[in-house]
Each structure stands twice: as structure tokens, then as C-alpha cells.
């Protein structure tokens, strides 16, 4: 029997910043009606609540953030601006509300539309709140190692759109593939272009 390429739950139990970097180059896979949609992860952001003022869990445990406090290796899906779904991967030990936001994918297979930006990524992958709490090794949504991994040159910057978080907004917890044209946000001096 061939070894699985899916990431095991232990992968998500690691330090959240380690997970955010290690996800670059992995494949996000979504199965819909037997069809596989696949995108290469090229941009992530780490959120380390409850101390991190940019994390949803900063305000404490709520019905919205309950998934973040659960076991690692689950999807935390939320809606922003009443329009866009965003996919986070719960990380660290159970009870520690850390997560990694997926910000951009490089299309590999059957991805309709744009995938640069967390809302566009979710729309192309047909990810919405129905998947909130789903295990990331389930039949419909998972992350796997590519058969032939492409090299990743990691860039790093402050996270995007969290200026309200004061000093926390300046933490360099956004990671991206410096060579991918599918990265969603501005590139900093630590990036390229």
C-alpha cells in the first residue's frame, strides 16, 4: 500500500509559525461531486490568539471561534463583509486558539476563477461555512504533499488588513512564495518585485 500524501493531524500540532511556513508548496484539495480541485498554497498568515489582537480568538471563546479552541487539523471557516468566506487551519495544541489563514493558491487542477486572496480562494474551491469544523483529512477537504514539489523561496511580511491590531499588526507573520505570481497582497522589502 502506497503511503498517503495527506498531512497527518500531528502536522498541525506544531508551532503555528512553523506550520504557516511549511504549508507553502503543499496542495489544498477539495472534492466536489467526484471532481478534485487542486491548488498549490503560495501565501499564508499565522494568528496566535488569544494574545494576538489580530486573531479572532483575541476576544476569548465565542460560538464563532469555538473551532479554534478545538483539536488541530480542522477547518475554521468564517464570513467577512457579509460576502467572502475565509479558510483557516486550526493549529497548536487543543485549547490554544491558533490558526493559519490561507491567502492564495496557484491553480493546479480544475480551479475556476481567481485564487489570489482568501475570499477568491474559497469561492474557487467552493469552501463556505458548511465546512467549518471539518477535519482536514476528510473526504471533501484536505492538504497533501505534492508528488513533485516545486521549490519555494519564502518571503515574509506583516499581515494584511489588520492595522487595527496595533503592534500586533507589524508582526512578520505573513509568508509567501516569492516566485509565485498568484500571491495576493503587496510584497514587502523582504519579498521581491
Q: Domains, the chain, ranges and CATH?
A: 9-177 (3.10.300.10)
* pLDDT value, residue 193: 36
pLDDT for the residue 59: 82
Distance CA 120, CA 118 (A): 6
Residue 153 pLDDT: 97
In order, the DSSP letters of 100-145 are EEEEEEEEEES--S--BSHHHHHHHHT--GGGTT-BTBSSSEEEE-
Low-confidence stretches of the chain (pLDDT < 50) are 1-2, 188-193
pLDDT at residue 82, as a whole number:
80
Using a cut of 0.75, tell me whether the model's pTM lies above it: yes
Q: Tell me the CB-side half-sphere exposure of residue 76, using CA atoms within 13 A.
A: 26
Amino acid at each position: 500500500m502506497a503511503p498517503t500524501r495527506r498531512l497527518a493531524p500531528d502536522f498541525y500540532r506544531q508551532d503555528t509559525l512553523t506550520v504557516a511556513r511549511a504549508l507553502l508548496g503543499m496542495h489544498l484539495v477539495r472534492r466536489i461531486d467526484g471532481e478534485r480541485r487542486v491548488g498549490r498554497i503560495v501565501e499564508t498568515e499565522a494568528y496566535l490568539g488569544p494574545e494576538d489582537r489580530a486573531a479572532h480568538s483575541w476576544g476569548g471563546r465565542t460560538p464563532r471561534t469555538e473551532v479554534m479552541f478545538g483539536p488541530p487539523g480542522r477547518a475554521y471557516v468564517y464570513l467577512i463583509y457579509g460576502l467572502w468566506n475565509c479558510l483557516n487551519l486550526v493549529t497548536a495544541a487543543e485549547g490554544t486558539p491558533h490558526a493559519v489563514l490561507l491567502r492564495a493558491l496557484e491553480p493546479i487542477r480544475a480551479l475556476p476563477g481567481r485564487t489570489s486572496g482568501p475570499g477568491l480562494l474559497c469561492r474557487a474551491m467552493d469552501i463556505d461555512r458548511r465546512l467549518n469544523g471539518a477535519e482536514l483529512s476528510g473526504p471533501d477537504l484536505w492538504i497533501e504533499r505534492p508528488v513533485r514539489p516545486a521549490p519555494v523561496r519564502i518571503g515574509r511580511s506583516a499581515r494584511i488588513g489588520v492595522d487595527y491590531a496595533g503592534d500586533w499588526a507589524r508582526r512578520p507573520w505573513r509568508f509567501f512564495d516569492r516566485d509565485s505570481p498568484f500571491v495576493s497582497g503587496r510584497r514587502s522589502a523582504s519579498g521581491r518585485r
